[in-house]
Amino acid sequence: MSYNLLKGKKGIIFGALDENSIAWKTALRVHEEGGEFVLTNAPVAMRMGQINKLAEQTGAQVIPADATSLEDLENLVEKSMEILGGKIDFVLHSIGMSINVRKGRHYTDQNYDWTQKGTDVSATSFHKVMQTLYKKDAMNSWGSIIALTYMAAQRVFPDYNDMADNKALLESIARSFGYFFGKEKQVRVNTISQSPTPTTAGQGVKGFDGFISYADKMSPLGNASAMDCANYIVTMFSDLTKMVTLQNLYHDGGFSNVGVSNEVMEAFTKDA
C-alpha cells in the first residue's frame, strides 16, 4: 500500500546488493512512496550483486562509488544532484564489512590491517558521506540521514567480532555529526538497530541461524523482517518524523528490552 509519503523527495541509497538486502527493499518502498533516488555501491559489490535489475525496477540511475574514497563521494554527490535536479532529502547508509569475520579470525586474534579496513568501510565511511554532503551543502532542510546498525554495539554477541566495535563507532558518528547537521542545516541523523536479518552480509556471521532463532524467541513480536525495516526507514525519511534526531532506534520486535522470554526459559528448563 502506498501513502505517497515521499512524493517529491530525492535521495541516495547506499548498499543495495541483492533482493535480500535491506537497502534493496528500501529502494522498492521509497519508489512506491513517490521518492526518486540514485543507487550506489562499491564497484566490487556491484559486480557481485544485481543492482542494475533494481535500477530498472525503480527508474533509478546507478553511480559506482567506494564509500571510503572522498573523491568517489564528491563525484557521487555532485552527479546525484545533477540527475535528481537539486538538493537531497534522504540518504541511507547500509554498508558493513569485516575481513576478520569473512576469513574466520577470532576477535582475540585480529589482523589489524583487516580491522582498520573494516572500520573504514563500516563506520568511518558514514562520517565521510556526511562530511561530503555537509561541505557541499547538498541536503535540503529537514532532510533525513539513516545508517543501519545492530545491538552488538551495546551488548556482547561473541561471534559478531570486530563488527560490534564498528557499529559502536557508527552510532557515535551519527550522534556527533547529527548535532552539527541539526544545528546548522536542520538535517536529522539517526541509526536503526535492526533485528538479525538473513541478508547476504548477515549470513556471513558464524552461528547466524542460531542467532536469528534465539532473537525470534526472545522478542515479543518476533524478529523484524527486511521489509519491516524498509517501511520504518520510509517513515524516518518522511516529514512525519522531522523532530527525531541523534537517536539509535531499536527495530527488533522488542528484543532490546527483554531480559528473558518464556520460550527461552522453557528450552533451558528442559535441558536441566
> Is 250 among the residues known to form the active site?
no
pLDDT in tens, 31-63: 999 999 999 999 888 887 799 999 999 999 999
Report how far apart, in Å, the C-alpha atoms of 113 and of each of 48, 67, 231 are.
24, 18, 37
Q: Are strands 88-93 and 10-14 parallel, antiparallel or unpaired?
A: parallel
Q: What is the pTM of this model?
A: 0.96
Q: Which of 169, 188, 185, 186 is nearest to 247 (CA)?
A: 188
Q: Which residues of 226-247 are buried (b: 16+ CB within 10 A; e: fewer)?
A: bebbbbbbbebbbeebeeebbb
Instruction: Return the C-alpha cell found at 242.
Output: 522531522
Binding residues: 15, 21-22, 95, 167
Give yes or no for residue 1 having a pLDDT over 90: no
Q: For residue 235, what are the contacts with CB-CB under 8 A and spacing of at least 6? A: 5, 241
Give yes or no for residue 81 having a pLDDT over 90: yes
The number of C-alpha atoms within 13 Å of 67 and in the hemisphere containing its C-beta is 31
Q: For residue 177, what are the contacts with CB-CB under 8 A and spacing of at least 6? A: 126, 127, 130, 131, 134, 189
Rounded to 5 degrees, φ, ψ at 67 are -70, -5
Q: Using the Cα atoms of residue 267, residue 154, residue 19 and residue 143 in order, give the sign of their dihedral.
A: positive
Question: How would you class 61 by CB atoms within 10 Å of its CB: exposed for 0-12, middle for 13-18, buried for 19 or more?
Answer: middle
| Percent of the chain scoring above 90 in pLDDT | 89
Binding residues for NAD(+): 15, 21-22, 95, 167
Annotated domain spans of the chain: 10-271
Strand arrangement of the beta sheet that strand 139-149 belongs to: 61-62, 36-40, 10-14, 88-93, 139-149, 188-194, 248-251
Give yes or no for residue 227 having a pLDDT over 70: yes
Give yes or no for residue 204 having a pLDDT over 70: no
CA dihedral of residues 261, 264, 267, 268 (deg, nearest 10): -90
Give yes or no for residue 272 having a pLDDT over 70: no
pLDDT in tens, 158-169: 999 999 999 999
160, 214, 232, 250: the catalytic one is: 160
Does an H or E element contain 46, and which? helix 43-48
pLDDT for residue 271: 61
Number of H helices, E strands in the chain: 11, 7
Q: For residue 61, what are the contacts with CB-CB under 8 A and spacing of at least 6? A: 38, 39, 55, 83
Give yes or no for residue 265 having a pLDDT over 90: yes
Q: Using the Cα atoms of residue 70, residue 72, residue 76 and residue 79 in order, give the sign of their dihedral.
A: positive
> Is 179 among the residues known to form the active site?
no
3, 107, 150, 232: the catalytic one is: 150
| Percent of the chain scoring above 70 in pLDDT | 99
Options 1.10.540.10, 3.40.50.720, 3.30.1360.30, 3.40.50.1100; CATH of 10-271:
3.40.50.720
